[in-house]
Chain A
């Protein structure tokens, strides 16, 4: 079974530039998550989708971050404009559903460095 695919693997940009990350979840997984993991910290949820609808985006800095999952399958996360403090690993995860006991499957992440 193919896992959660993310690209790019690494990205280096200058502050105030824009960047986009892509995620393709495990086939058939209805729930998709984007997490931000700053070095030395645990992942923090940015946004959760159920199919193509947003379930929770309360921790997403909406002035600069946006995400979409238009067809309910793959998803993109965008940062515009980037700040130095956005340097982190952006993890995408998926699960079959949103049940509290569902296991999340994570991608390898996109490591973003903002200079």
Chain B
């Protein structure tokens, strides 16, 4: 069964600190993997996309990594800001439809 599992479920960090969010998937075959940021009450917004052959992709303070052999991805946030408080959703693309993880809820406190 195609699944996307994210950890931790929720995370609280202090402003300025770094954090890493994890995504494990069992989707096969696999076209690409995206990380989305979803602010409360808003729709998800794409942060990065990686295809099978890519290992790392950066978008400002966000860096995503992908290990297609172990079927794991991570999203690293550097020097966190209060505006980073949101849910971060890992989305995997098999041939048919997108499969979304449940997300990690990140709270950045001053």
CB of B82 closer than 8 Å to a CB of A: no
Within 8 A of A (CB), among B9-64: 31-32, 34, 41-46, 49, 51
Closest A residue to B6 by beta carbon equals A42
Q: Give the size category of A's interface with B.
A: 20 to 34
By a CB distance below 8 angstroms, the chain A residues around B86 are: none
Query: For the complex, is B66 an interface residue (Cβ under 8 Å from A)?
Result: no
In the complex, the chain A residue whose C-beta lies closest to that of B95 is A100
Q: A56 on the interface (CB 8 Å rule)?
A: yes
Confirm or deny: B1 has a beta carbon within 8 angstroms of a beta carbon on chain A.
Answer: no
Q: Are A109 and B32 in contact (CB under 8 A)?
A: no
A104 to B91, CA, bound (A): 11
> Which A residues touch B93, using CB under 8 A?
100
Instruction: Mark out the residues of chain B between 69 and 110 whose CB falls within 8 Å of any chain A CB in the assembled complex.
Output: 89, 91, 93, 95-103
Residues of chain B with a CB closer than 8 A to A41's CB: 102
Q: Is the CB of B4 within 8 A of A42?
A: yes
Contact digits for A90-106, partner B, Cβ 8 Å, 1 yes 0 no: 01010000001101111
Residues of A within 8 A of B43 (CB): 4, 91, 93, 105-109
Distance between Cα atoms of A103 and B96 in the complex (Å): 15
Interface contacts beyond A43-B44, A103-B34, A106-B45: sample of 13 additional A-B pairs, CB < 8 Å, sorted by A:
A41-B102, A42-B4, A42-B89, A42-B101, A42-B103, A93-B43, A100-B31, A100-B95, A104-B44, A106-B42, A108-B42, A109-B43, A111-B41
Q: Which residues of B contact A (CB under 8 A)?
A: 4, 31-32, 34, 41-46, 49, 51, 89, 91, 93, 95-103
Top 6 A-B pairs ranked by shortest CB distance? A106-B43, A42-B100, A100-B31, A45-B97, A103-B46, A43-B100
